[in-house]
Amino acid sequence: MEKYYISYNQIHTIMKNLSCEIRESGFEPDYIVAIGTGGFIPARMIKTFINRPILTVGIAYYDLNDNIMDTPHIIQWIDEPQVKLEGKKILLVDEVDDSRATIGYCLEKLLTHNPQEIAVTVVHNKKKEKRGSIPPEIKKYFAGETMDDKWICYPWDADDICEHDINCKY
Amino acid sequence: MEKYYISYNQIHTIMKNLSCEIRESGFEPDYIVAIGTGGFIPARMIKTFINRPILTVGIAYYDLNDNIMDTPHIIQWIDEPQVKLEGKKILLVDEVDDSRATIGYCLEKLLTHNPQEIAVTVVHNKKKEKRGSIPPEIKKYFAGETMDDKWICYPWDADDICEHDINCKY
């Protein structure tokens, strides 16, 4: 599969532009919820432009040996007594909407907290058949780049970041 | 105060080198715990080199209007029934050891979970008088750069990331 390299600075600029788009849509979140670990870096970038507390949720479909598991394993969730999401507006952030399985799973689970509204934002949305789905309650979806199904090489996964940047197109 | 600019790529390389140092010390964490929100990006970078699940804790000494508060406000903590830290080795990650207040607070609170060992790692440690302290139980501390008390400009706080990078020294 064709590889697509993207740098930290490119993602930073995408998150800045997405933040503008989110603000212009009239959506004002109470909380940013980052899906770990892919959403951590994009979510922290967004926080500079939309200054709201970040909560994180950790979901893994892979074990430590990179074997795929049938059911997702929850690494961390939101502690209800500590934070009440009921009636709140949530901006859910992940790096990529690939099969949509993780995002769909998180949305279903977040909806059980009875938030007022959830908007989804991702750096990349891949144009491909999706295994997961976005529940009908979710009306706002923001993608930085909509692209064909390539192998996206994120900077945080790079062993040598200088070599990685040489492979970035623009 | 003098400003010190640092790029994403510089931090990525620092975290790679720190990961080597941590491995060479013989410390093998079960969990990475990122202090939010400054530790999110460094922690995710470390995960590429030390592949362990990331848990996050959110602590705020500032309210949304950037007013300092007397007591820290917990935004998120670790849900005990979900994750047992008892007997585990934890690598605690933050971006900067400034006054040591946040790190000291998190260490005290993490110790109540009865972990086997906690090691601390930060991108920067400032040589200055510390208000907080590192409990005597903590024997391992890794800093990417030890520096004078400057105003560190992290890339994730940049409005214009290209302009930011021009200000980075090397």
pLDDT digits (tens, 9 = 90+) for B6-63: 999 999 999 999 999 999 999 999 999 999 999 999 999 999 999 999 999 999 887 7
Could you report the per-residue pLDDT of B65-118, keeping only the tens digit for each?
Answer: 778 887 888 999 998 777 889 999 999 999 999 999 999 999 999 999 999 999
Supply the DSSP string of B83-95, one letter for each residue. Answer: ---TT-EEEEEEE
The b/e string for A2-37 (b: 16+ C-beta within 10 A; e otherwise) is eebbbbbbbbbbbbbebbeebeeeebebbbbbbbbb
Tell me the pLDDT band of A170, cut-offs 50, 70 and 90. low
Q: How far is B101 from chain A (nearest CA, A)?
A: 19
CB-closest option in B12, B40, B82 to A44: B40
Taking the C-alpha atoms of residue B53 and residue A8, their distance in angstroms, rounded to an integer, is 22
The fold of A7-147 is Rossmann fold (3.40.50)
Q: Which residues contact A138 (CB under 8 A, 6 or more apart)?
A: A107, A118, A119, A120
All residues of chain A having their beta carbon less than 8 Å from the beta carbon of residue B84 are none
Question: Do B44 and A41 lie within an 8 Å CB cutoff?
Answer: yes
What's this model's pTM, rounded to 2 decimal places?
A: 0.96
How do the domains of chain A map onto residue ranges? 7-147
Compute the average pLDDT of residues B114-136. 97
pLDDT of amino acid B35: 97
CB-closest option in A8, A43, A75 to B53: A75
pLDDT of amino acid A15: 98
